[in-house]
Structure 1
Amino acid sequence: MNLLTTLFFGFLSLTGFCNGICMEEERQALLELKQGLVDHADRLSSWVASNGECCKWKGVVCHNLTDRVLQLHLSAPTQIVDLYDSVTLQLFGKISPSLLHLKHLSYLNLSNNDFGGIQIPKFFGSLKSLKFLDLSNAGFAGKIPPHLGNLSNLQYLSLRDNDLLHDENLHWLSGLSLLKHLDLSFNNLNKASNWFHFVNTLPSLLELHLAGSHLPKGQAEAFSSELGYA
């Protein structure tokens, strides 16, 4: 190989040349995720086994050098659907633990879908590379799993508008030392007597949303007073 050829391929590696073909383990993980979902609008129509270029599948973002899956943008579009149209843009069904095979996943957005009152999967707490997690308005219910506190790299967390979500102990927040944005609006936190302590110890927090979360009487006012908002 002559010097010119060597320089050419070196340039390609530096500029992020990739072929769109993610690792086979990650491609299979995405296909298993799709298999568990109900997708009436065929939003995931590009996710097919015969298409090996999984980094070009809709909603999938890969690293431009390694082709590792980094992001999944699976939020349902927010535009209003005709009430007489039988096709819905929301995803339904179950969320496969195959996501655990996406070792470099840093961004996961499942907002505005309808998962029918299932609990937030506990295995989400093992997605250790996550920096962004948006589960807002996605039809989750039950207790917020404390396993989310294992996401030590998380910077953005929104559980907003899952009004059947509840929690009595927010101790898991103490594991999120890098968290900058937290939205627990319109969840049921009326028994979370310790929320003040754990929110107040988040060293990186810049933005907090707690509207409509039914906080224990008097504690929201005390928190606002301490922050100078009274």
Structure 2
Amino acid sequence: MERFAWHNQVPGLFFLFFVFLFGYFQLNFSSSFHLCPPEQSSALLQFKNSTYVRNDRARSSFCLGISYPKTISWKEGTDCCSWDGVTCDNVTGNVIGLDLHCSKLEGTIDDTSTLFHLSHLQSLNLAFNYFSGSQISPEFLRLKELTYLNLCLSEFRGLLPQEISHMSKLTYLDLSNCFIKIEQKSFDLIASNLTKLSVLNLRLTDMSLIEPFSLLNLSSTITVLDLSGTGMRGVMSTEFSRLFKTRTKQLSAPELTQARLSKEPRNTGQSKNSQYTKKLTWFSSTKEPTSTDVKPARAKALLNKKMVDYKR
């Protein structure tokens, strides 16, 4: 009788076992293989169709050995989360990363680009491609979740839009080696709004209109700053340079060469706006600053206030 009862329980135990296995696999694997939303897949395919792949050599020596057209793997009817260069959120399937550097892409990215439909993007790397004639569109502002943006050597040109300064989550911004002109207002907004930046690379952009002391307003979170080849020229105190270099692990701005600080006018009957400059010293980012008669306490106070009496 007991043996008969045991045999009656076996099917039920097997059923419970399979229910457990089914639930386990659903819990652990369903999110991992979540298909990306169809509208995001469509946006990527439309972007692919707006570009074409060049068959010539790599865009840069940096791309040698790693350059290949990633968009070739993008096929309609397949999960975009499996495409080269695309990263999706494990839970929602939303596209959160797009890495197309060294992909030999040529085309134009304008205000109508479907790239800007990918509102969940956290990382976008378009470096070392051929987007000649493209301007950095104000539509980048729609990518509010971006923490990483790299457009290095991708042939963007024109004025940098002020809207870039509203991408407040950015920690990495590389616009280097592009034909971009940065105006004072745009730089001031970047300095005041992008408070999470760790890396800022503006190498070989046009910053000839930027006051050097605007650098004082940059976020204290910046550890890497490259302003070489920007045409940014002016005067800067040696003590300030030392403090700024201490705050940034890598400072590349060799055009900022001459150091000058004004001091308070004496009671000589001259206007309070008259400027008196102290001893000139020279600063190059490739050398350790030389000694100066600027008092460290005074320089620190100026740095903390983020204000320096500037004279070109």
What interval of TM-score do these two structures reach, taking the shorter chain for normalisation? 0.7 to 0.9
Cα distance change, pair 208–15 in 1 and its aligned pair in 2 (3 A) = farther
For 2:139 and 2:42, the matched residues in 1 are separated by 18
Deviation of 1:201 after TM superposition, in Å, equals 3.6
For 2:221 and 2:21, the matched residues in 1 are separated by 43
Alignment partner of 1:71 is 2:102: no
Q: Which has the larger radius of gyration?
A: 2
Conserved in 1, the CA contact under 8 Å of 2:31 and 2:92? no
Match in the other structure for 2:75: 48
For 1:220 and 1:9, the matched residues in 2 are separated by 66
Q: How many pairs were matched up?
A: 215
Which AA in structure 2 matches 1:29? A
Match in the other structure for 2:217: 200
- Structure with bigger helix share is 2
Percent of aligned pairs with the same residue?
30
Deviation of 1:220 after TM superposition, in Å, equals 9.0
Segments of 5+ residues of structure 2 without an aligned counterpart are 1-14, 56-68, 246-287, 290-312
Segments of 5+ residues of structure 1 without an aligned counterpart are 77-88
What SS is found at the alignment partner of 2:140?
A: helix
For 2:213 and 2:49, the matched residues in 1 are separated by 41
For 1:189 and 1:48, the matched residues in 2 are separated by 42
Cα distance change, pair 219–8 in 1 and its aligned pair in 2 (3 A) = farther
Which AA in structure 1 matches 2:85? G
What SS is found at the alignment partner of 1:149?
A: helix
Q: Map 1:82-161 to 2 at 5 A.
A: 90-95=104-109, 97-161=113-177
Alignment partner of 1:13 is 2:24: no
For 2:216 and 2:29, the matched residues in 1 are separated by 42
Which AA in structure 1 matches 2:148? F
Alignment partner of 1:166 is 2:190: no
Please tell me the root mean square deviation across aligned C-alpha atoms, in Å: 2.5
Alignment partner of 1:37 is 2:54: no
Conserved in 2, the CA contact under 8 Å of 1:168 and 1:192? yes
What SS is found at the alignment partner of 2:98?
A: strand
